Chain A
């Protein structure tokens, strides 16, 4: 009798969990199915009806949104924004984190506490002054504006994360290198970098996705120009032009999710590592 009730409760546990997982999957699944449906079908019936009638799948939405709406261009814009922003953030953060972890210099603690303080600063409070400065340098509406901004916004977290990783590297390694007369530059490139590949990878994925998924920074510093708009911006413009291009939204949204999803599934452990390191320490 007892065993039976345990079996039942175990069964309801499975059911509950699976039901929740379904709820979590359905919205995305619906979007994916919708993106392949003909314009007419999207506007007149729910995506789940696709499976009842003879299957009518088309790639037309994708072609239209990629080449007529210019999302192909936005895809490359997103890359052109995300890759340099990630690379520069990583490099600048690694240099600083190395200094914070392995060098002694006056003001080190104060500067690092400042970095910790900036960890959760809402970037909204910087928007207007930064916009003014970027405008003064004629940078608004161009990639360098968002490269600089994203680097700055990503730095506190990046420095914090990398310093924690660097500090946990074995002390002897650095000491024996210095004894052999190695300079800091040598230590940085030949000891630190090779040993830190996993943590750098975790951070790179994190920063890349952060920049790729950003809307606010692009919206404020890039403005309305289509030439430089990343995917998020292009999609939000599509949304506001609701009506005629409405059937293109699922395809557009799915295209913007493609790279993050691939990265996520291919490098899940790094991604989770970054989240945990950030959350549990920061």
Chain B
């Protein structure tokens, strides 16, 4: 065994130059397309719209002091909370309940399918679901037709300021619930049956089982799901871009950045938005690194 190890060691030391052949292509991509651009965007965010002069923090100041951009942050916060909470809740609900059903795989497939299609296609799907005709006309969108059927008046889901953000978030929830369900369900299968059986023998009711055993044991899985969803809530772009283009107060961070970049041609402000998006994700980056180092040590 010692001899084997020493041979392996010699091998690995001898080829230390060869190593770079394996890592260099990856490093080239990571540095030139991720690392350097990130740093450069920080710098650009301190410059004016065509990056010709230094303006300090005034891009940031602008973003936080104007109604239009303030709304962008409000909406992203709404996505962050409502989207995340609902997807985790629905995922947990579906995973726990369907766990006892013989046709669980079918349910999983049905709920999971939207994950496979593009946000663009999903946006088209939901534009049709939300179609609106003024009151008195025949409703051809599913939701408004149902509303009309029960005697309500139609709602312009994507235009009405009271509901449009929620309508967009609902489409996001439709897409992502499958993710929550599948991951949580995998975590559920990891809970040893003996633990549950023992508790049942001791007379625990099903809901006690859920609160005192299943939920605590799912803890780590739920954390991962929540973090993944939060990141995706902050980064949401395509859905909003295709469904409303951020009009009628539905703009979110990623879409606004795109607008500043291409519609208004303001690279300074676009960069500042990107930096804010990046900074809001930094805690997750640190958490990921910490968790990785802990796992490697074990």
**A98 to B22, Cβ gap below 8 A?**
yes
Q: Top 8 nearest A-B pairs by Cβ distance? A: A152-B33, A213-B118, A96-B26, A126-B37, A129-B37, A99-B22, A264-B116, A253-B124
Say yes or no: A256-B33 contact (C-beta < 8 A), given A27-B125, A239-B127.
no
Q: Which of B4, B183, B186, B278 contacts A121 (CB 8 A)?
A: B278
Residues of chain B within 8 A of A48, CB atoms compared: 142, 145
Residues of chain A within 8 A of B13, CB atoms compared: 104
Tell me, rounded to whole Å, the shortest Cβ–Cβ distance linking A269 to chain B: 10
A128 at the interface (CB under 8 A from B): yes
Closest A residue to B227 by beta carbon equals: A120
A8 at the interface (CB under 8 A from B): no
Q: Which of B7, B23, B30, B142 contacts A118 (CB 8 A)?
A: B30
Q: Which of A96, A118, A236, A261 contacts B120 (CB 8 A)?
A: A236
In whole angstroms, how far apart are the Cα atoms of A32 and B26 in the complex? 41
Tell me, rounded to whole Å, the shortest Cβ–Cβ distance linking A204 to chain B: 14
**B274 to A122, Cβ gap below 8 A?**
yes
A169 at the interface (CB under 8 A from B): no
Closest A residue to B253 by beta carbon equals: A124
**A125 to B277, Cβ gap below 8 A?**
yes
Tell me, rounded to whole Å, the shortest Cβ–Cβ distance linking B230 to chain A: 10
**B32 to A124, Cβ gap below 8 A?**
no
**B288 to A232, Cβ gap below 8 A?**
no
In whole angstroms, how far apart are the Cα atoms of A126 and B127 in the complex? 30
Q: Mark out the residues of chain A between 113 and 149 whose CB falls within 8 Å of any chain B CB in the assembled complex.
A: 113-122, 124-130, 133, 148-149
Seen from chain A, the residues whose Cβ lies within 8 Å of a Cβ on chain B are 13-14, 16-17, 20-21, 24-28, 30-31, 34, 43-48, 92-93, 95-96, 98-100, 103-106, 111, 113-122, 124-130, 133, 148-149, 151-153, 155-156, 159, 174-175, 178-179, 183-184, 209, 212-216, 219-220, 231-232, 235-236, 239-240, 249-250, 252-254, 256-257, 260-261, 263-265, 268, 271-272, 275-276, 279-280, 282
Chain B interface bracket (under 10, 10 to 19, 20 to 34, 35 or more): 35 or more
Tell me, rounded to whole Å, the shortest Cβ–Cβ distance linking A15 to chain B: 11
B53 at the interface (CB under 8 A from A): no
Say yes or no: A257-B225 contact (C-beta < 8 A), given A46-B141, A125-B38.
no
In whole angstroms, how far apart are the Cα atoms of A171 and B112 in the complex? 36
Which of B13, B27, B98 has the most A CB atoms < 10 Å from its CB? B27
Residues of chain B within 8 A of A133, CB atoms compared: 32, 37
Interface of B is mostly: helix
Tell me, rounded to whole Å, the shortest Cβ–Cβ distance linking A113 to chain B: 6
**B258 to A216, Cβ gap below 8 A?**
yes
B85 at the interface (CB under 8 A from A): no
Residues of chain B within 8 A of A264, CB atoms compared: 113, 116
In whole angstroms, how far apart are the Cα atoms of A214 and B241 in the complex? 13
**B278 to A125, Cβ gap below 8 A?**
yes
Residues of chain B within 8 A of A30, CB atoms compared: 125, 128-129, 142
Interface of A is mostly: helix
Q: Mark out the residues of chain B between 169 and 195 whose CB falls within 8 Å of any chain A CB in the assembled complex.
A: 174, 177, 179, 182-183, 186-187
B154 at the interface (CB under 8 A from A): no
**B11 to A178, Cβ gap below 8 A?**
yes
Contact flags (1/0) for B29-70 with A, using CB distance below 8 Å? 110111111101100100000000000000000000000000
Residues of chain B within 8 A of A148, CB atoms compared: 29, 33
Closest A residue to B285 by beta carbon equals: A117
B235 at the interface (CB under 8 A from A): yes
Residues of chain B within 8 A of A268, CB atoms compared: 109
In whole angstroms, how far apart are the Cα atoms of A14 and B100 in the complex? 10
**A31 to B182, Cβ gap below 8 A?**
no
Tell me, rounded to whole Å, the shortest Cβ–Cβ distance linking A279 to chain B: 5
Residues of chain B within 8 A of A235, CB atoms compared: 120-121, 124, 242
**A128 to B29, Cβ gap below 8 A?**
no
In whole angstroms, how far apart are the Cα atoms of A27 and B128 in the complex? 8
**A44 to B138, Cβ gap below 8 A?**
yes
In whole angstroms, how far apart are the Cα atoms of A153 and B38 in the complex? 13
**B44 to A21, Cβ gap below 8 A?**
no
**B25 to A95, Cβ gap below 8 A?**
yes
**A26 to B97, Cβ gap below 8 A?**
no
Residues of chain A within 8 A of B33, CB atoms compared: 126, 130, 148-149, 152-153
